[in-house]
Amino acid sequence: MTRLATFLLACLLALGSLGTVAAAHEQKLGDLVLHHAWSRANPAGAKSGAVFVTIENTGDMPDQLLSASSDVAAMTEIHQMSMENDIMVMKPAGILDIPAHGKVELKPHGLHIMLMGLKQRFAEGDTFSVTLTFAKAGSVTLQVVVDKVDAMGSAH
């Protein structure tokens, strides 16, 4: 997708959901608000990627993130990366609790949606879809925006 097309798409998304171009994108699903789903441009031949998003629960009842799926990868799982001293450890995170009036952040060096067996390469500005399924709220398809290869998400 060209940069212009991406920009126009971003404008449309922003206009549709918020009525302002400047705001970071967010999507709503029942009591849940999903803030800015993003990923990184990946190196040539990369077979894995990670998607980050902040899940906010504005409701009075806790929810749970059960699973994630995407057409861009052969397998999609919620993973937890952690640093134990200087050792990077990564493992499936299982079911994620989303507390009432709480927030769970999927971000670099922590929880993330792990894309394994990537079928395509992402360049900065690309978008793709990831579907999250929650125990109570149901499913939502996120529009994931691809950021720079070294993005840490702080700019959003």
Partner 1 sequence: MNRRALLVSAVAIAAASGIGASYVLNNKQVTQTLSVGGPFKLIGTDGQEVTEAAVKGKYSLFFFGFTFCPDACPTALNTFSLVLGKLGPDADKIQPVFVSIDPARDTPAVLKEYLSSFDPRIMGLTGTPEVIAETAKSFRVYFAKQGEGEFYLMDHSTAIIVMNPDFEYAGVLAGNMQPDEMVVRLKEILAQGA
Q: Which is nearer to partner 1, 60 or 86 (CB)?
A: 86
Residue numbers 103-122 binding partner 1 by CB under 8 A? 108-109, 112, 114-117
b/e 32-54 (16+ beta carbons within 10 angstroms → b): bebbbbbbbbbeeeeeebbbbbb
60 binds partner 1 (CB under 8 A): no
| Sequence-distant (≥ 6) Cβ neighbours of residue 57 within 8 angstroms | 31, 32, 63, 98, 99, 100, 101, 102, 103
Dist. CA 111–CA 101, nearest whole Å: 19
First to last CA, the chain: 22
Q: Which is nearer to partner 1, 21 or 75 (CB)?
A: 75
DSSP letter for 30, please.
Answer: T
Taking the complex as a whole, the smallest distance from the CB of residue 92 to partner 1 amounts, in Å, to 8
Out of 8, 12, 15, 74, point to the residue binding partner 1 (CB under 8 A).
74
Taking the complex as a whole, the smallest distance from the CB of residue 19 to partner 1 amounts, in Å, to 34
Q: Which is nearer to partner 1, 80 or 131 (CB)?
A: 80
Residue numbers 37-56 binding partner 1 by CB under 8 A? 40, 42-50
150 binds partner 1 (CB under 8 A): yes
By the criterion CB under 8 A, which residues form the site for partner 1? 40, 42-50, 74-75, 81, 83-91, 108-109, 112, 114-117, 149-150
